[in-house]
Amino acid sequence: MDSAVRTHIGDRHDVVLDGPNGLYLTFIRRPEFSHPLWAVPTPSIIPLAYPSFEAAYSGYIAAKHPFVISQDALAPAFLAKHPAYKIIARAAGPTLIGPESFLILH
């Protein structure tokens, strides 16, 4: 994952997560958009803890067109909502529970 981030994103800070793996933002120094998954352990809590998160997230996506790190399974829904995005890289994720692949979208 580190190699994919370095190759396709480099030193840019305009990176967001689409999914529950907030720790992937540790590959990005000082991300521009602070994702609540840094502090909230489960995605289902976000609407309760951050009621305006979806509006802030969508607004940031529309205004900045950041890079997006997504789980493979979540990417189709994101791409349907944001058709200007394309998959630019696929990377292996952690294998503690089972192999996962992650995508970098831009």
Q: What is the mean pLDDT of the chain?
A: 84
Integer CA distances (angstroms), 39 to 6, 12, 71, in order = 25, 22, 19
Look up the pTM and report it. Answer: 0.83
54-78 pLDDT, tens digit each: 898 889 999 999 999 988 888 999 9
Report the alpha-carbon distance of residue 69 to residue 58 in Å, rounded: 15
Q: What is the pLDDT of residue 73?
A: 86
Q: Which domain holds residue 32?
A: 2-105
Q: What is the pLDDT of residue 44?
A: 76
Q: What is the residue whose two structure tokens read 């190699």? A: 3
Q: And the tokens for 56? A: 């802030």
26-60 pLDDT, tens digit each: 777 788 887 766 666 666 777 887 888 889 888 99
Report the alpha-carbon distance of residue 19 to residue 75 in Å, rounded: 9
Q: And the tokens for 97? A: 């529970």
Q: Among the residues of 1-106, which ranges form H helices?
A: 2-8, 46-49, 53-64, 75-81
Number of H helices, E strands in the chain: 4, 4
Report the alpha-carbon distance of residue 34 to residue 3 in Å, rounded: 22
Total domain count for the chain? 1
